[in-house]
Structure 1
Amino acid sequence: MDETLFDRILLPLADPDDAERTARAIRPYLDEETTLIITHVTQGEAAGTTVAMGRDRFAEEIYETFIAVLGRQDLTIEWVTLEGRDVSEAIIDAIGTLEATLMAFTPRDLDTWSRTLAGDPGSRLVRDADIPVMVFPSRTE
């Protein structure tokens, strides 16, 4: 197994509930050498993806929820807020810039209309990412 796989894990988070599910799911796979790249995508105006390093006020509640549920202080965490018109595209565009070695997420519950109109963002991430993608069950204990 590639020992660098869990070095820099990109975790896209949609909302506080998603942050909680993802923190619970990823916790068993982490060690003190892991860097977590916690990201949230906000609606952007430009055609491309914009990367804003640091904590964006809009995403602050999501980030705080993740840290509280994760319950670990020994990890390196990078906070990245992305701006883009399309969530999946923004995340995929940022992979190389962020030097992620793995992406991990829990699928979002989308209704049939959302999937029809916007496509399934999770499927796009799995299909189009050029790094390994770990998808957790949508319901984790």
Structure 2
Amino acid sequence: MVLTFDGRVLVPVADPDDGERTAAALAPYLGPESSVLFVNVIEKAGGAPDKASVEQREAYAEEIFERARGPLADRAAPVETAILFGTDVVETIFDAAEERDVEAVVFEPRGGNRFVELLTGDVARRLVKKAAVPVVALPRTDD
């Protein structure tokens, strides 16, 4: 069985390396009718001061998107990007997925040990457990 995405997929990306790696892992699974929506969630502090200004975070998101577009440059799939804001990354991703009528949320799990996952809230695990649309974890390409 070969997996191919023939609709719109939402791809959350956290940093430039993650964006590039995830796009490279996604490329072989795109079909002729595919479209890709890369999103970066700017996590709001919920009343506490933010670590960086919105302008700095938006500029960083644009850097992420630029790197993510690279591996898909020779694909026919249209690529869109969106900066999302929310206090809960996973909820924000699924809200966007439902609003934008995507076929699936697709990501490549990032490396890290269990301790790091506990400290960071383990977004990948929560994506799978709280899925509001199909979620696909791509095989890691850096191992």
TM-score, normalised by the number of residues in structure 2: 0.78
Question: Are the equivalent residues in 1 in contact too, given 2:69–2:79 (CA < 8 A)?
Answer: no
Q: Which residue of 2 aligns with 1:42?
A: 42
Query: Which consecutive residues of structure 2, in runs of 5 or more, have no partner in the other structure?
Result: 48-57
92-101 or 109-118: bigger deviation: 109-118
2:62 aligned partner = 60
Q: Is the 8 A contact 1:42 1:83 kept in 2?
A: yes
* % identical aligned pairs: 37
Give the equivalent residue in structure 2 for 1:23. Answer: 23
Q: Stretches of 4+ moved more than 6 A in 1?
A: none
| 3-state secondary structure, aligned to 1:139 | coil
Does the CA contact (< 8 Å) of 1:106 and 1:136 recur in 2?
A: yes
Q: Which moved more, 1:14-23 or 1:110-119?
A: 110-119
Structure 1: which 5+ residue stretches go unaligned?
A: 48-55
- 2:33 corresponds to 1:14: no
Task: Name the Cα RMSD after superposition.
Answer: 2.4
CA distance in 2, matches of 1:69, 1:109: 20
Q: Contact 2:9 / 2:106 at 8 angstroms: preserved in 1? A: yes
Deviations 1:55-112 (A, max 9, x none): x433111111111122325222221111112222211222111111111101122344
Indicate the residue corresponding to 1:136 in structure 2.
138
**Counterpart for residue 107 of structure 2:** 105
Matched pairs, number: 131
Scaled by the length of structure 1, the TM-score of the pair is 0.79
